[in-house]
Amino acid sequence: MDSKQAVQALGALAQETRLSIFRLLIQAGPEGLQAGQVREAMDIPAPTLSFHLKELSNARLASSRQEGRYVYYSADFEQMAALMTFLTQNCCRGMPLDCLSVMETELARCCTPAAAPAKSTTRSKS
């Protein structure tokens, strides 16, 4: 991820409704949510939701898929990870593992699956 992509992603998240939608999609996991479920949870009109989902999609933070007559939206976890990596790659005076261990600990609190896989020692590329 480069600076321009990071600014676009951060800009998309710098709006209260979009941030709330993104957090809802993160909560839903890779399966995502049907657009109507997002609209009901957010209690916003369909055109407003469509606008915000388009902004998140343009920033590559959300994606959609068609299943029958329904459209499902999900967070793009790879893009989220790229943004987090971009934000932390130069932290801690060249010792990013110190910062990343704090971040991994925080992520483990909210995102621990029922059966946690073995911890990987590889880092994703930025």
55 within domain boundaries = yes
Q: What is the pLDDT of residues 30-70, one digit of tens each?
A: 999 999 999 999 999 999 999 999 999 999 999 999 999 99
For residue 65, the surrounding DSSP H or E stretch is strand 62-67
Q: What does pTM read for this prediction?
A: 0.75
Provide the domain count of the chain. Answer: 1
More confident residue, 106 or 9: 9
Residue 122 lies in a domain: no
Mean pLDDT of the chain: 83
Residue 95 domain flag: yes
Domain membership of residue 117 (yes or no) is: no
Confidence label for 125 from pLDDT (cuts 50, 70 and 90):
very low
Structure confidence at residue 126 as a pLDDT band (50, 70, 90): very low
Does a structural domain hold residue 118?
Answer: no
Residue at 102 is within a domain: yes
Tokens of 98: 């110190």
Give 110's pLDDT tier (boundaries 50, 70, 90): low
Q: Is residue 121 part of a domain?
A: no
126 assigned to some structural domain: no
Residues 17 and 44: beta-carbon distance below 8 Å: yes
**Domain holding 28: CATH number?**
1.10.10.10
State which residues form the domain around 58. Answer: 1-109
Is pLDDT above 90 for 84?
A: no
| Strands 33-34 and 62-67, sheet pairing | unpaired
Placement of tokens 């992520």 in the chain: 107
- Taking residues 77-83, report their average pLDDT: 92
> Which residue type sits at 29?
G
